[in-house]
Structure 1
Amino acid sequence: MTTTAKSGHFRSYCARLVGVLLTVFAVSPTLAEELAIYAGKMFDSQGGELLENRTIHVVDGRIESVQKGFAKRDREQLVDLRNYTVLPGLMDMHTHLAYEYGPRTYMETFTWNEADYTLRAVDTARRTLRAGFTTVRDLGDSGHVTVSLRNAIDRGTVEGPRIFTAGKAIATTGGHADPTNGYRHDLMGSPGPADGVVNGIASARQAVRQRYKDGADLIKITATGGVLSVAKSGQNPQFMQDELEAVVATAKDYGFTVAVHAHGKEGMDRAIRAGVDSIEHGTYMDGETIELMKRNDTWYVPTLVAGEWVTKKSDVDGFFPDMVRTKAATIGPLIRDTFAEAYRRGVGIAFGTDSGVSRHGDNAREFILMVAAGMTPADALRSATWNAAELLDMQDELGSISAGRKADIIAVAGNPLEDISEMQRVGFVMKGGEIVVNAE
């Protein structure tokens, strides 16, 4: 046999061997790892109280049962958190994983490629998960970065939280999230529905359908002006009522929920009447808006840490363009008082930070601001667990430590009902039964 023939036979043999191995690994079941987690204290996200001395039994990434006392089975691996407070994995309902604001952010639009944003998102996703946030909504990217990131995390090739992404947010021409705001005229062009810019009912429907095609999980629209866009108003209404209704009706056909960036009252009220699921920021809501939200079961996602961050940065010369600086100094300080009134009057509140404005991984700063504004620690924790799961319509899968849910579990050394800052010091993180950060 010639050398060439031998080489050909060897390559053929290797190819068959690889094929056999791929087949074996494709059909071989993954052995279910069984864990017993001893929890000295455990936060009941439905009741809002701490339970003592519980054993959480985890099988194949899900919580099989929770029982009183400490009772490990012979076949179970022990995770001893008797000196910790154990909580459901935290959930942030407003993030932007591909972005992290800095003094060069506006220039990045022209100097960064999609790969640059993707690599940043890999880093921010890892930081977010290791801070105890096992699930997030991403409410606006470009280039489908977070769709690909979500898929990579689901495959296990990248470390990060479970992602529900809106892909590119939907705006109107010149509105907040029009990607060409602030460009010189020859670069502006006229972006359309595929770019997240709509005008009229037909293009609003087209944009929603494009998000379905792109692989998004939900819809994000910008119903009013915003702080960080290079556009004059931070609060004017930017969708007409019929456009909002077209978005919501089309979204429902595709099984999407609709999250709405809104600062100004009129744009907010229009969106609530159209039937959206959540209002993000909500700065200028008044009593009438609050009652409208309650009647329509509209969730409020406050993003207090973003308001704090833009307020601080507005004092730094040259950090923002002048147009943005004025809006940041005006709108940023108001969100805390709006939140306090909405909470006092019983609006449903889900946790969200707008991280990407502030630093990813510092998400738990939001808890401190919520409690400082009058929310009880228990309600703040519920906003990031049970309430967030309800907003996602995932309460049978996420948001509590109870039988049948995914084993998303974190732990802190102290008692967060006594000191909410404990949530900034997460010492144990488990996502889907896999330990990401182990207690020392």
Structure 2
Amino acid sequence: MARTLIRGGTVVDGRGGEPAAADVAFEDGRIVEVGPGLDGDEAVDAAGMTVLPGLFDCHVHVTMDGPDLLRSLGQPFSYQFFRAAANLSATLDCGITTVRDAGGADLGVKTAVDDGLVEGPRMQIAITILSQTGGHNDQWVPSGCSLELVGGGHPGQPSPIVDGPEEMRRKVRELVRAGADVIKVCTSGGVLSPRDDPRHPHFRDDELLVCVTEAAAADRFVMAHAQATDGIKAAIRTGIRSVEHGIFLDDEAIAMMLERGTWLVPTLVAPHAVLEAAAGGARVPPESLRKAEEVVGHHADSFARAVAAGVRIAMGTDSGVGVHGTNLTELELMAKGGMAPLEVWRATTSSAAELMGLGDELGALEPGKRADVVLLAGDPTDLGDLKARIRGVWKDGARLR
């Protein structure tokens, strides 16, 4: 395979180092050299551009397309898979070459990407979001109907509802059998679920300990939808690797995260996306709209305090609640919350790779890493209008954008 050279750009290595003028050379899908004065068989002029590692989004839902429940219910069952293909393509347009799907995509979606049938970022998948009865992924509504939107909708998705340690043990094993790379569990209520409260903790420690133990036996991490303070603490206490959202953090929870090394995936853009969708005419249930309005301020404050304390942070958006392809808006919100631009890039590259267990292969511009590379017009410290500034995207050395 030809040796490709990206020449004359400003390299952001993904490790937090200062941007520096350098070339990046890759061959056979791997980075082989980074430095000045390199040569190659095919050269790309990156003058005036920033060269970044392929970006990550650690919290997406590629089979979902916004919070308008009635619209989703009016679509044929198989439509979600075609929608996923379009959403994966839109994500790749952002320079995001790796995602963690936090519920919805099944093994077929991931395999279609791996086999080249669908163009998109490489994926880790949770398949089904585990919820207690009456929890965040229990879509029972007062009419008596149950609207299985994120998991349990077909043979590739085990049912999401689990109560008690032994049910939890079996459910984790079912998910591993179905192809889950990561286990997702709801340790609190949420915004879009109809019959719970984001301030209430869900699952007891004995259930969560079984979840983590069974996942670890299969070499899987656990991620927790955790908005309530007590639900966040339960996730940390039982060894869950990442807290997703973290809306109601208090000082004790932050101290626990620091002690345990627990990751925060903030998804700051998610409640804003719900409000924007409603303003644009989406039929968001009134209770969900109320909850979104209530949590925005708490979410920003919790994130800022976590940043100031030094909590480990990886970028995630909850895209699927918001519009796929607008993922990079999250980076501006992270900067507003107190992260320096290079810290934001690190959270979106090497830190995200470490969270997902991919740090040996991805997340930095270093010899030996996979050749996932992004070209961005302009200054890397300017986080505005990022998607419009993407000029090139390579995944495993192949130029896709």
Q: Is TM > 0.5 for Structure 1 vs Structure 2?
A: yes
Structure 1: where are the runs of 5+ without partners?
1-31
Question: Distance in 1 between the 2:210 and 2:127 partners?
Answer: 19
Q: Distance in 1 between matches of 2:317 and 2:355?
A: 15
- 2:30·2:371 contact (CA, 8 Å) conserved in 1? yes
Could you tell me which of 364, 368, 376 is aligned with 1:400? Answer: 364
Which structure has the larger Rg? 1
Which residue pairs with 1:72 in the alignment?
A: 39
More off after superposition, 113-122 vs 86-95? 113-122
User: How far apart, CA to CA, are the structure 2 residues paired with 1:288 and 1:314?
Assistant: 35
1:435 aligns with 2:394: no
The answer on 1:140 being equivalent to 2:106 is: no
In 2, Cα distance between the equivalents of 1:345 and 1:352?
Answer: 19
Answer 1 or 2: which has greater helix percent. Answer: 1
SS in 1 for 2:129: coil
Match of 2:64 among 99, 122, 135: 99
Counterparts of residues 89-168 of structure 1 (less than 5 Å): 89-103=54-68, 105-109=69-73, 111-141=74-104, 145-168=105-128
User: Which residue of 2 is the match for residue 83 of structure 1?
Assistant: 48
Alignment-derived partner of residue 6 in structure 1:
none
Verify: 1:338 aligned to 2:305, yes or no.
no
C-alpha deviation, 1:198, in angstroms: 0.6
**Partner Cα separation in structure 2 for residue 188 and residue 257 of structure 1:** 27
Alignment: residue pair count: 394
Name the CA distance, whole Å, in 1 between partners of 2:373 and 2:70: 37
1:391 aligns with 2:355: yes
* 8 Å contact from structure 2 (residues 135, 196) kept in 1: no
Change (3 A) 1:308 1:290: same
CA contact (8 A) 1:416 1:422 kept: no
Local SS of the residue matching 2:374: strand
Once the two structures are superposed, what CA deviation does each residue of 1:79-115 show, in whole Å capped at 9, x if it has no partner?
2212311000110000000001153x24524x33441
CA distance in 1, matches of 2:276, 2:89: 26
Distance (Å, rounded) in 1 between the aligned partners of 2:377 and 2:276: 31
77-86 or 404-413, larger mean C-alpha shift: 77-86
Structure 2 match to 1:57: 25
The question of whether the paired residues in 1 share the 8 Å contact of 2:162 and 2:171 is answered with: yes
**Matched residue, 2:16:** 47
Taking structure 2 as the reference length, the TM-score comes to 0.94
What is the CA–CA distance in structure 2 between the aligned matches of 1:373 and 1:43, rounded to whole Å?
Answer: 21
| Partner SS state of residue 35, structure 2 | strand
Q: Specify the code of the residue in structure 2 equivalent to 1:80.
A: D
- Residue 420 of structure 1 deviates from its aligned partner by 1.2
Check the 8 A contact 1:94/1:355 in 2, yes or no: yes
Partners of 1:107 and 1:195 in 2: how far apart?
22
- Alignment partner, residue 244 of structure 2: 280
Aligned position for 2:144: 185
Report the Cα distance in structure 2 between the residues aligned to 1:432 and 1:132, rounded to whole angstroms: 13
Out of 374, 379, 384, the position equivalent to 1:421 is 384
How far did residue 312 of structure 1 move?
Answer: 4.2
- 1:388 and 1:114 mapped to 2: Cα distance? 32
Q: Bigger CA drift: 235-244 or 306-315?
A: 306-315
> Separation in 2 of the partners of 1:281 and 1:148?
27
1:319 and 1:204 map into 2 onto residues whose CA distance is 34
Structure 1 residues 60 and 323, CA gap change in structure 2 (3 angstroms): same
* Cα distance, 1:317 vs structure 2: 7.9
**2:261 alignment counterpart:** 297
AA aligned opposite 1:131: C
Give 2:291's aligned residue: 327
Q: In the alignment, what sits opposite 1:36?
A: 5
Residue pair 1:304, 1:335 contacting (<8 A) in 2 also: yes
Aligned residue for 1:198?
162
Q: Which amino acid aligns with 1:148?
A: G
Q: Say if 1:209 and 1:183 are closer, same or farther in 2 by CA, change over 3 A.
A: farther
Determine the C-alpha separation between the residues in 2 that align with 1:273 and 1:128.
33
Higher relative contact order (CA 8 A, sep 6+): 2
Rounded to whole Å, the distance in 1 between the matches of 2:202 and 2:86 is 34
SS at match of 1:221: strand
| Amino acid in structure 2 at the alignment position of 1:97 | V
Distance 2:53 2:343 in 1: 14
Q: How far apart are residue 186 of structure 1 and its match? A: 5.9
Ranges in structure 2 where 5+ consecutive residues have no aligned partner: none
Paired with 1:34 and 1:357, the residues of 2 have a C-alpha distance of 40
